[in-house]
Amino acid sequence: MGELRDILLALGLEGSEIAADRRLRAHLALDSVDTVELEQELQTRFGVVVDLWDKHDFTVAELAERIERTRTDGTSGASGA
């Protein structure tokens, strides 16, 4: 979750806002630009494609787990929960 936290900090979020149970849109208030930047950074850093526009609003922990699982499985495609 450390690298994901670094990405979220680079997007301008405060460190105190970033917690495992916080939802990206509902709690952290990621806007459309932030969402696109996060998707691009996930693909660039991890080779992981995650659809953050899905109806499911990921928590930080869910997204970190999805990234780890996708990297471990060796697959790049990932959509909502």
Q: Which CATH architecture has domain 2-78?
A: Orthogonal Bundle (1.10)
Q: What is the pLDDT of residues 40-56, one digit of tens each?
A: 999 999 999 999 998 89
pLDDT band at 81 (very low <50, low <70, confident <90, very high): very low
Residue 56 main-chain phi, psi, to 5 deg: -75, 130
Neighbour-count burial for 18-40, b at 16+ CB within 10 Å, e otherwise? beeebbbeeebebeeebeebbbe
Do residues 22 and 42 touch, judged by C-beta distance below 8 A?
Answer: no
Query: What was the pLDDT predicted at 54?
Result: 84
Q: What is the pLDDT of residues 8-49, one digit of tens each?
A: 999 999 999 999 999 999 999 999 999 999 999 999 999 999
Block residue for tokens 């922990």: 61
CB atoms < 10 A from the CB of 2, how many?
Answer: 7
pLDDT band at 75 (very low <50, low <70, confident <90, very high): low
